Amino acid sequence: MRNGIFGFLAIVLVALGVLGYMSFFVVNPTQQALVLQFGEIRRTAQEPGLYVKVPFIQNVVILDHRLLDLNMEPKEVIAADKKRLVVDAFARYKISNPVLFYQTVNNVREADLRLSTFLDASLRSELGRAFFTDVVRDRRADLMEAIRKDIDRRSAEIGVNVVDVKIRRADLPDANSQAVFRRMQTERQREATEIRAQGEEQARRIRSRADRDATVLVAEAKRDAEKIRGDGDAERNRIFAEAYSQDPDFFAFYRSMQAYLTGMGSGDTRMVISPKSEFFRFFQAPEGKAAAPAANGQ
């Protein structure tokens, strides 16, 4: 009898434990929950904590409360200037209205499919009104923000809030990239040839100017040298003239000594001249006066 009572109590305790376990559920900080009763949404639990539900009658659907990533395959888009672009973009979103989210798409997989459609349409719409340079350089941030706002407006109908849209890459297709590369290479080569020609022209102009300036400088230097040399010769002649006027005899002696030094200084010089010549008058008489010729017959 006692064993039967203990067995009954054990069954009751287990039943109470199972009932209690099924009456509570926990929502983590990264989650949010919907409480359903026969498929109808009774309430939401968006804050972390311990919640109560009616066991066996109510069930709980857990949804993610974190930012979710939406990655899409690269798409080919035609810009406003008719250039084709291969665009690789992604978005981040969060479930802002779990009730509407559950009623419209039910799960994250279906939400990704719907958002991919929105992102593709918005990319084609916004980038189709922009030029190639706007997408790759000038207005990229503005375009991404415009796409985000457009997707966020559309995704409100499924209870989703799009917080960010980024374009990872926006390039020309491979064939177009090669053509653009060849065109850029040709343009750079043309510019290089033009710059070299301009440089050569400037070099010739500089060389011509330098040659002209050198010729003028040399001519002016020669002119100044001749002038200075003439002034020096004139000064020398003036000094000689003054010296001659002060002491003609000494000046004649000095000039004769200079003539002897210049004429007979070199060892290989030969002079055929009479010893009684006027040139050797200072050898004949210290005062430099040649002796009078002897009378005929004496």
Round to whole Å and give the CA distance between 26 and 189. 70
pLDDT of residue 6: 61
Cα-based distances in Å from 3 to 7, 52, 74, 153, 252: 6, 35, 71, 67, 168
Is 54 within 8 Å of 23 (Cβ atoms)? yes
Residue 278 has pLDDT above 50, yes or no: yes
The model's confidence at residue 291, banded by pLDDT at 50, 70 and 90, is very low
Round to whole Å and give the CA distance between 132 and 148. 19
Task: Tell me the average pLDDT across 247-273.
Answer: 70
292, two tokens: 């009078």
Strand partners, 170: 87
The model's confidence at residue 13, banded by pLDDT at 50, 70 and 90, is low
The model's confidence at residue 296, banded by pLDDT at 50, 70 and 90, is very low
| Residue with more model confidence, 209 or 296 | 209
* 7-11, 129-133, 192-196, 242-246: least confidently modelled range: 7-11
Report residue 147 CA to chain centroid gap: 30
Round to whole Å and give the CA distance between 289 and 270. 25
Residues 6+ apart with CB under 8 A from 164: 91, 92, 148
pTM of the model: 0.55
User: Per residue in 110-159, pLDDT tens?
Assistant: 999 999 999 999 998 888 888 888 888 888 889 899 999 999 999 999 99
At 168, give phi and psi (nearest 5°): -65, -45
Residue 175 has pLDDT above 70, yes or no: no
Residue 290 has pLDDT above 60, yes or no: no
Task: Decide: helix, strand or coil at residue 39.
Answer: coil
Kindly state the helix (H) or strand (E) to which residue 9 belongs, with its residue range.
helix 2-23
User: Per residue in 59-68, pLDDT tens?
Assistant: 888 899 999 9
pLDDT of residue 292: 44
